[in-house]
Chains A and B, each alone.
Chain A
Amino acid sequence: MTPTVEETGRLRRENLRLAEERAVFIRYIREKVNELLVLLRCPTMNADHLGDLELIGYDPIGTIGVSFSQVLDHLKETNEQLLREVSERTRAEASLLESEERLRDFIDNAVELILSVTADRRIEYANRAVLSTLGLAREEVEGQPLCSIVTPESKGECLKAIGRVMSGEKAVRIELELQGKRGSRVVAEGNATGRVENGRCLSARMILHDVTARKKYEEEMQKVEKLESIGVLAGGIAHDFNNLLTGILGNISIARIHASGAEDVQHTLSKAEKACLRARDLTRQLLVFSKGGAPVRKATSIADILKESAESTLRGSGVRCEFDLPDDLPSVDIDEGQIAQVMNNLIINADQAMPGGGTLRLSAGIVEVGQGGSLPLKPGRYVRVTVADTGIGIPKEALPRIFDPFYTTKEKGSGLGLTTAYSVVRQHEGMVTVDSEPGEGTTFSMYLPVAGNAPSRDTKPASDSGNRRVLVMDDEEMVRQVALQFLEHLGYTGTAVEAGEEAVAAYREAREGGRPFSAVIMDLTIPGRMGGKEAVRLLHDLDPGVRAIVSSGYSNDPVMSDPVRFGFRGVIAKPYRMRELREILEGVLSDGGSPARAKSA
């Protein structure tokens, strides 16, 4: 059946419409494929390259779609990988930061002095110990030249050591002296190492210890050792010297008796005696200085010492001296020689503090110290002696150190004057305090214990001394001679021996013969033979009631400060005068109880 013309026309129109529709689809597909290809950075296609059917045969959309899913997977994986890396890096950075913070903390809080110096010798870093040691702020140190915190004396050695580090030496021993604010100095030693990058040393790092205290201790130990040997020497000299003085002084006393009436001779002898007494004081000072011997204490008027000390020390000085000493001041229990030395030291200091003249005020008064007071003193009554000057005063920072051994602000000071004062007064169970205002003056206060109710020893006359026999033991011929002459003059019968063995024999013999000795005076040390310390024990075995007196030129022997513990009833320091011998004998013979002490004028 042949289609009608009408039918053919309709089919043609239909065919045309379908062809147009197909073209629209194909154009759409090609456009979309091209868009996808652009995304894949592929040149776009045209219909000449690839026919429609061929294109469809390649399944472009399906293929590109699957490829995109591969691209997506890859991107996802890459992204995950990146995230892992980022978190790994963040963790690493945090841990690095923490480790850096920890190290910085260690370094900054270390007690060691830690410094880093650049190639041009500037301080790059200084830890807290450096800053606090020097009393400087961080900005006053970091960025500054190293030489600004090193003393000129140690600069050379320090720069030399850093030069060695910079030129590649590994660990270099370094010693330097740092100086901070207000001139404080610190000796430090340790190691320096270099920070090397690409073969070049960029900075030197130093870890140092503060060895100031150790150095000072070593120096002071050397001084102490030197002083100890001087002390031994001085002690030996003082002993011999005191024996000689005993002879001289004794003979002068006897000469004065023989020359009674001759006014001019008396006058000359009196001057000689005074000179001897000064020589005796000098040997005592020597002992105090060298050994600081235990005080040989007795009740003494402090007012006399103050007056004498001021008079002799301030002679020729432009300083005016005022006294405020009450008449009823009680006696103090002191070693006169030692306390006189302390007073001299304090007055000399005051005088030197007033080079342009001024007023020195010496006063004394009673102080009651109760339990739990602010002063580290045993409760009781004390005499407070104050030495107040109107001088230059002591700087605040020096105040805590003035009693330190070897500390001095004077060009030629030994640094021992106040140390001696302090230790002497402490040995008297007293104390020294200081109060000072720069530009206003300084006041030293010395607390000394009031003497107990010691029995008065110079009241009893030597009534029945005639029938009393006294044994004297001394290895010095001159001392024996003088003692015998003194005894004779005082009405005693004296016998002299050289050493302990003979003393014991003589004592025993006299007892057995019915003519016992009433008292024995013995030298403490007899070189090479038995001295008083041993002899008194043997005498006690013979006669528990023995009245022994120890006599020595060494005031620093413990026997001299505590004779009873060693079996003696009394103490007399050589050299002594007749009056002192009389007093001690009367004291020892009058009672059997407390120990007696010779009173020196």
Chain B
Amino acid sequence: MITMWKRTVELDLRGQVCPASLLLSLKKMNSLREDLSSGTVALRVLTENRESVPTISAAAASMGYAVTVAREDAHYALLVETAGAGKVR
């Protein structure tokens, strides 16, 4: 079994609103598709737009990712990672 360390890619969408923030998140998730699925990469999305949080979360969940939302100061941080967190696929 090969164990790989997870790397976090950050996507800062502060100042953006939907659907731009969603489209940008989707684009990132698409480009990181392999690494996100295999669990080597986690995507951290920062947004100030409250509306974007459930939208991005729902879209990520539909694609099979696990999403955890944290409130940080004036923004939200959404951590998108493989459903089997830390799991090597």
CA of A353 to CA of B62 in the docked complex: distance in angstroms? 95
The answer to whether A44 and B26 have CB atoms under 8 Å apart is no
Given contacts A41-B55, A41-B58, A77-B64, contact A58 B27 (CB under 8 A): yes
A274 within 8 A of B: no
A262 within 8 A of B: no
CA of A504 to CA of B19 in the docked complex: distance in angstroms? 139
Residues of B within 8 A of A64 (CB): 23, 26
Query: B58 contacts which of A40, A44, A58, A78 (Cβ < 8 Å)?
Result: A40
B70 within 8 A of A: no
Residues of A within 8 A of B64 (CB): 70, 73-74, 77-78
Produce 1/0 per residue, B26-59, CB < 8 A to A. Answer: 1101100100000000000000000100110011
Chain B, interface SS category:
helix
A412 within 8 A of B: no
CA of A37 to CA of B26 in the docked complex: distance in angstroms? 11
The answer to whether B23 and A63 have CB atoms under 8 Å apart is yes
How far in angstroms is the closest Cβ of chain A from B10? 19
B69 within 8 A of A: no
Interface centre among A41, A54, A70, A73 (most CB of B within 10 A): A70
Which chain A residue lies CB-closest to B23? A58
Question: Interface size bucket, B side?
Answer: 20 to 34
CA of A67 to CA of B30 in the docked complex: distance in angstroms? 6
The answer to whether A74 and B62 have CB atoms under 8 Å apart is yes
Given contacts A40-B55, A70-B64, A74-B64, contact A45 B18 (CB under 8 A): yes
A-B contacts counted at CB < 8 A amount to 67
A59 within 8 A of B: yes
Which chain A residue lies CB-closest to B55? A42
B13 within 8 A of A: no
Question: Interface size bucket, A side?
Answer: 20 to 34
B22 within 8 A of A: yes
Produce 1/0 per residue, A440-479, CB < 8 A to B. Answer: 0000000000000000000000000000000000000000
The answer to whether A58 and B20 have CB atoms under 8 Å apart is yes
CA of A64 to CA of B27 in the docked complex: distance in angstroms? 8
Produce 1/0 per residue, A38-73, CB < 8 A to B. Answer: 001111110001100010001110011011001101
How far in angstroms is the closest Cβ of chain B from A249? 112
Given contacts A43-B51, A70-B64, contact A59 B19 (CB under 8 A): no
Residues of B within 8 A of A41 (CB): 54-55, 58-59
B88 within 8 A of A: no
CA of A50 to CA of B22 in the docked complex: distance in angstroms? 13
The answer to whether A71 and B26 have CB atoms under 8 Å apart is no
**4 interchain residue pairs of minimum CB distance:** A74-B64, A70-B63, A66-B30, A58-B23
**Contacts A/B (CB < 8 Å), 15 sampled:** A33-B19, A37-B19, A40-B26, A40-B58, A41-B54, A41-B55, A42-B18, A42-B59, A43-B55, A49-B17, A59-B23, A64-B23, A67-B63, A71-B62, A73-B63
B: residues with CB less than 8 A from A are 17-20, 22-24, 26-27, 29-30, 33, 51, 54-55, 58-59, 62-64
A: residues with CB less than 8 A from B are 33, 37, 40-45, 49-50, 54, 58-60, 63-64, 66-67, 70-71, 73-74, 77-78
